[in-house]
Amino acid sequence: MLARTGISFECLPPGVDETRLPGESARGLIARLARDKAQAIAAQRPDAWVIGSDQVAILREGTADERLLGKPGTAARCVDQLRACSGQTLTFATGVAVVRGADASLVEFTDITAVRFRTLDDATIERYVSREAPLDCAGGFKSEGLGITLCTAIESTDPTGLIGLPLIRLCAVLREVGYQLP
């Protein structure tokens, strides 16, 4: 997605433990992981501006039965996630941190997208999972693909946020730190 900006970059694995800390909120988790990922790479490349990002899908956010939905990994877990999302609103929170190690610069933000699912029967869910196999997507669906047919609405200030990297706000931050973007 970052290639859309025309900036040259490389992707490096940060090697950060993504385990949720006891009592940590979903939004706290993604903010911490984005920052930790960026800082891990910035320690290796102190003169570079480093972007760290993490996303979580939250079902029934702010309620006693709040549930985080990660990447399902298997078709069975994907089916279970989509059953849970049927007729519900899923909140996608994406944390982004832009860091430069040389001067300890840090800019952070969170992007929120709400996805409302229509009521889904088992046959619909099975057909969808079979056709798109969204096993590596938080929440078990791809809005940029066939998954859009499962939704009744998507509310966001940045449509790229749902796909994993909110480019509108990120481009603003990159301009703030000195990048020339059209």
Q: List the catalytic residue out of 54, 80, 111, 121.
A: 54
User: Which residue has 């940045």 as its token pair?
Assistant: 158
Contacts made by residues 66-74, CB under 8 angstroms, sequence distance 24+:
66/26, 68/20, 68/26, 68/29, 69/138, 69/139, 69/140, 70/138, 71/135, 71/136, 71/137, 71/138, 72/134, 72/135, 72/137, 72/140, 73/135, 73/136, 74/135
Q: Is 54 a residue of the active site?
A: yes
Active site residues: 54
